[in-house]
Amino acid sequence: MITIVLADRSNIVRYGLRSLLDNNPDFRIVGEAAGSWETIQCASQLRPNVLIMDWGMARQGGMEVLRRVQRKSPSTQIILFSLDWSESQFLDADESIGVDLIYCNSIGTEVLRIIREGNSRPPCLVALTPTVSVPRRRTPERLAVAAQ
């Protein structure tokens, strides 16, 4: 059983993620959070296999939310997502080291794929953004681009 915590300010987004994940009997949502502090508490108390978190929420407290979650629950895989991603928002920051940024056509499909493959790889920070938000200029080779 893969345990999951959902973190997003919007009830509607959390509901959508829950609907997507509830269809898989191998996944169990053990908690939800609507704010940065609540996310840290939820992840440290529940120690889920996966934390799915809105990037906008992570930015509110800088990268401190992510650092605290990683420190308190080091085996938790963190999946950040954004529907409106700018490469510079993340990759220009010092904290971007060790982040897999995946451009994809369907965030939902990628979330499912990453969770399913998560047991076969070490915990990491994965950031997802739709392909449509990819800057028109050439993207750095270190970015992982999901199959279209």
pLDDT, tens digit, 9 for 90 and up, residues 17-42: 999 999 899 999 999 999 888 999 99
Per-residue confidence (pLDDT) for residue 112, from 0 to 100: 86
Per-residue tokens: 146: 């999901």
Q: What is the dihedral of CA 98, 131, 76, 112, to 10 degrees?
A: -140
Q: What is the pTM of this model?
A: 0.77
Per-residue tokens: 124: 């990491």
Q: What is the dihedral of CA 49, 55, 58, 62, to 10 degrees?
A: 130
pLDDT band at 59 (very low <50, low <70, confident <90, very high): low
For 50, list phi and psi in degrees, rounded to 5. Answer: -135, 140
Give SS3 for 148. Answer: coil
Q: Give the integer Cα–Cα distance in Å for 116 and 61.
A: 29
